[in-house]
């Protein structure tokens, strides 16, 4: 990882193939190297972020970003947040649902609620031939 006889200093390192690598550490003491995707590579960054978002199962911002393991994305959090606002599945899963009236209550039931008791009485019956059976529950 030495280029032109100069040892790398800081987190960014330029490798032999002119690729920029971000060097960071893990909590366990090992060194982690990630390829840097510049902001100018818009299509590739979007593809990497979408892939990570689909792999985590549309769980949100932090789980999606944790699935981006091989790449370092400067301002990737902001781009992932913008991508999540456009994701139809996430918007459907996290949508607030509201009704003007309860879904099981129709307009005729609401009208009956303003009437006095026994305003309307109904009887169910079942007829087979000449025999009639009242169904009262």
Q: What is the DSSP letter of 82?
A: H
Asked, for residue 70, whether it belongs to a domain, the answer is yes
Kindly report the pTM of this predicted structure.
0.59
Domains in the chain, number: 1
With respect to residue 45, please indicate whether it lies within any of the assigned structural domains: yes
Residue 21 maps to a domain: yes
pLDDT digits over 54-63, tens only? 999 999 999 9
Range of the domain at 37: 12-93
Residue pLDDT, tens place only, 91-103: 988 888 776 655 5
Segment holding 128, helix H or strand E = strand 124-128
CATH number of the domain encompassing residue 63: 1.10.340.70
53 CB burial (10 A radius; 0-12, 13-18, 19+): buried
Residues 80, 49 contacting (CB under 8 angstroms):
yes
Residue 79 belongs to some domain of the structure: yes
Considering the domain boundaries, does residue 98 fall inside one? no
3: closest CA among 11, 38, 17?
Answer: 17
Please state, as a whole number, how many other Cβ atoms lie within 10 Å of the Cβ of residue 72: 19
- Asked, for residue 114, whether it belongs to a domain, the answer is no
pLDDT digits (tens, 9 = 90+) for 70-125: 898 989 999 999 999 999 999 988 888 776 655 555 666 667 677 777 777 777 77
């Amino acid at each position: 990882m030495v280029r032109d006889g100069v040892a790398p200093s800081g987190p960014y390192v330029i490798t032999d193939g002119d690729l920029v690598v971000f060097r960071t550490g893990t909590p366990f003491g090992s060194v982690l190297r990630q390829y840097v995707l510049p902001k100018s590579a818009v299509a590739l960054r979007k593809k990497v972020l979408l892939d990570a978002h689909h792999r985590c199962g549309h769980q949100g911002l932090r789980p999606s970003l944790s699935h981006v393991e091989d790449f370092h994305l400067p301002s990737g959090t902001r781009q992932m947040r913008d991508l999540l606002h456009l994701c139809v599945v996430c918007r459907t899963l996290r949508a607030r649902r509201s009704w003007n009236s309860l879904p099981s209550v129709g307009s005729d039931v609401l009208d009956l609620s303003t009437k006095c008791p026994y305003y309307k009485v109904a009887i169910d019956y079942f007829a087979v031939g000449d025999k009639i059976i009242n169904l009262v529950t």
